[in-house]
């Protein structure tokens, strides 16, 4: 029989609302340095916005005429002012925007890396389960109030104080009202549970999972 872990579920007011059983094959996976390095660096490479580009001597404008005659001037011989050794000339071996950095990640590796990241977060006491935020209308003040009350939970004191990458809020269903309520809070990021990945999980100090029963079911679906 599969071993189960248990964690406390809190209300949006920071009060205990029960417990939830967590599958060990998702929240009790040992850390794997090689796997995490490969998956995280590949995801970062796939998200890379390639803008660095230089022109070679054949792409820069001008330089059609020989600067001066080949012999008799006492100066070095040159055939074009667009040579790489001239100011304003082409660049030798510079970066090109047509280089492709993207690589493929097998689905099983990506899922395993997510489970490793979730297991590390749970082990470090940085996952907070909330039954529901219940935000019906976009209100940043309401969202901030919930963060302040949840920061009173032991171990999550920096939830409302950390200035950068304080928390990632994962929701089984990301509604426009909830998204708009949290998007004006600079240290908070909201996303659908189905879009969780190792990079986003590890980037923030805390991971807040709303509606844990539905969210964990979505995460478990990656096992198949």
80-to-76, 93, 94, 153 alpha-carbon distances in Å: 12, 18, 19, 71
Residue in this structure with the two tokens 């171990």, named with its chain if needed:
155
CA geometry: angle 25, 27, 28, nearest 5 deg: 70
Return d(Cα 141, Cα 184) in angstroms, integer.
Answer: 10
Residue 117 DSSP SS3: helix
Task: Report how many domains make up the chain.
Answer: 2
Q: Are residues 161 and 216 in the same domain?
A: yes
Q: Are residues 118 and 190 in the same domain?
A: yes
Question: What pLDDT was estimated at residue 4?
Answer: 60
Q: Are residues 110 and 195 in the same domain?
A: yes
Residue 15: CATH number of its domain: 3.40.1370.10
Polymer length of the chain: 224
Per-residue pLDDT reduced to its tens digit, 152-168: 999 999 998 888 889 99
Q: Are residues 40 and 79 in the same domain?
A: no
Per-residue pLDDT reduced to its tens digit, 166-223: 999 999 998 999 999 999 898 999 999 999 999 999 999 999 999 999 999 999 998 8
Q: Are residues 68 and 89 in the same domain?
A: yes
Least confident of 41-45, 56-60, 70-74, 108-112: 56-60
Q: Are residues 142 and 33 in the same domain?
A: yes
Query: Comparing 186 with 1, which gets the higher pLDDT?
Result: 186
Domain encompassing residue 68: 50-100
Q: Are residues 40 and 69 in the same domain?
A: no
Q: Are residues 183 and 139 in the same domain?
A: yes
Q: Are residues 86 and 139 in the same domain?
A: no
Q: Are residues 189 and 117 in the same domain?
A: yes
Domain end marker among 100, 121, 142: 100
Domain end marker among 100, 117, 136: 100
Q: Are residues 87 and 180 in the same domain?
A: no
Q: Are residues 23 and 95 in the same domain?
A: no
């Amino acid at each position: 029989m599969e071993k189960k872990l248990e964690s406390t579920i809190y209300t949006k007011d920071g009060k205990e609302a029960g417990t939830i059983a967590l599958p060990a094959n998702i929240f009790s996976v040992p850390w794997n340095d090689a796997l995490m390095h490969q998956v995280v660096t590949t995801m970062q490479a796939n998200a890379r916005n390639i803008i660095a580009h230089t022109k070679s001597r054949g792409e820069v404008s001008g330089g059609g005429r020989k600067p001066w005659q080949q012999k008799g001037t006492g100066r070095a011989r040159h055939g074009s002012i667009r040579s790489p050794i001239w100011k304003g000339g082409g660049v030798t071996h510079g970066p090109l925007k047509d280089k492709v950095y993207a690589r493929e990640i097998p689905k099983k590796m990506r899922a395993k890396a997510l489970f490793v990241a979730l297991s590390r977060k749970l082990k470090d006491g940085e996952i907070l389960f909330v039954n529901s935020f219940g935000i019906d209308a976009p209100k940043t003040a309401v969202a901030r109030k919930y963060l302040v009350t949840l920061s009173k939970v032991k171990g999550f004191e920096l939830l409302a104080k950390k200035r950068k990458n304080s928390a990632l809020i994962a929701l089984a269903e990301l509604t426009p009202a909830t998204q708009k309520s949290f998007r004006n809070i600079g240290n908070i990021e909201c996303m659908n549970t189905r879009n969780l990945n190792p990079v986003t999980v590890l980037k923030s100090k805390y991971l807040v999972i709303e509606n844990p029963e539905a969210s964990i079911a979505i995460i478990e679906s990656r096992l198949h």
